[in-house]
Homo-oligomer: A and B are copies of this chain.
Amino acid sequence: MVGGGQLARMTHQAGIALGVQFRVLAEGPEVSAARVARDVTVGDYRDLDTLRAFAAGCDVVTFDHEHVPTDHLVRLEKDGVVCRPGADALVHAQDKAVMRERLTALGIPCPRYRLVAGVDDLAAAARELGLPLVLKATRGGYDGKGVWVVDDLDGEDVGRLLSADVPLLAEERVDFVRELSAVVARSPSGQAIAYPVVESVQRDGICHEVVAPAPGLPEDRALDAQGIALRIAGELNVFGILAVELFETQDGRVLVNELAMRPHNTGHWTIDGAVTSQFENHLRAILDLPLGSPRPRAPWTVMVNVLGGDYPNMHYGLLHCQARDPAMRVHLYGKEVRPGRKVGHVTAYGDDLDDVRERARHAAAYLTGEIDE
């Protein structure tokens, strides 16, 4: 796996039971996955020779993020390296313009959009899509980075963006009721599974809380969302996990917001809440093993991210959370606490949504130091 963050860490954890020999290309010797895996190469994923040396001897190469240059992936595949997902699929998770054009051509519902190469395009986009609109860097964004809401075309930020020579995409600002996520897995044999559609609550562009399944979601809308995700996985020939982030609109439609082709934050609940976790199914998919059941194990599962707070030491918070709630599932990523950084997540499950949500929120807030009572 290229990239040594928490997704690689949890993928390794799942791979232990499968007997997978896991190798990670890590950004440094102390990144999240490097702290727990045996076979760690430290190197820069932007360097082709580093990638080539890393891939030598791997049966399959997969990714913990979308940042490996597409050209490098194409070169690796020409070398005979088995990349899953492959470059032709992954580019749709790397480049939002490529993704929008392809999904639109497939007739998959998306927000209206327009590519923006300069100030004239932006003015045209504003006329077409209205203000405020959402301006996105087509490449390199994550967790709210690379996304700007534009109210005023003459604003200082807009000028800076346009002059920075970054390819941009303008999208209508969707008046959504909430955000949903449909996580599916697909293998080279063409087998696919779909997890229940979840509700994803964002704060400042970062996934904060996930409720599985999405409360009150009509069955036809859930099937619609799963169908969109499965269709994208098939049309784009995705291998591994595909997460499709969606807007649910006032009038009951679902529109595709973002794609990710790797285990995704909106699927972390599956570790404790589903028969087979997204991490195990990612491995089973890329290794072309039969996929595991995505069924939920409890009526409700709630995952809340633990973002670094003001207290660098989580030990006393952990003592409190474990003593207060012996059924709480805590997942720490082995990362130093810095404000706003994803350092872990907690998961609660049970029969009563309000209770489950309160438990998970309390534990996360306590671990971050937000509350201390």
Contact = CB atoms under 8 A, between A and B. Distances in A.
A295 B38 contact: no
Interface residues of A, number: 41
Interface in A1-58: 9-10, 12-13, 16-19, 21-22, 34-38, 40
The interface centre, meaning the residue of A10, A18, A19, A291 with most chain B CB atoms within 10 A of its CB, is A19
Nearest to A318: B289
Given A38-B37, A322-B284, A322-B290, A16 B9 contact: yes
A12 B17 CA distance: 11
Contacts of A250: none
A322 B19 contact: no
A99 B372 CA distance: 45
Contact of A295 (B21, B284, B327, B330): B327
A107 interface: no
A21 B35 contact: yes
A326 B284 CA distance: 11
A37 B36 CA distance: 6
Interface stretch (A78-86, A154-162, A171-179, A331-339): A331-339
A55 to B, nearest CB: 20
A323 interface: yes
A297 interface: yes
A105 interface: no
A132 interface: no
B36 A327 contact: no
A275 interface: yes
A164 interface: no
Interface in A302-329: 314, 318-319, 322-323, 326-327, 329
A276 interface: yes
B290 A323 contact: yes
Contact of A326 (B38, B292, B344): B292
A333 B19 contact: yes
Contacts of A249: none
A157 B36 CA distance: 48
A289 B319 contact: yes
Interface in A241-290: 275-276, 284, 289-290
Sorted nearest first, the 7 A-B pairs with minimum C-beta distance are A19-B332, A290-B322, A290-B323, A293-B326, A293-B327, A13-B16, A17-B331
7 contacts: A13-B16, A13-B17, A34-B38, A37-B38, A276-B327, A290-B326, A291-B322
Given A12-B16, A193-B326, 4 more contacts: A13-B13, A13-B16, A19-B314, A295-B327
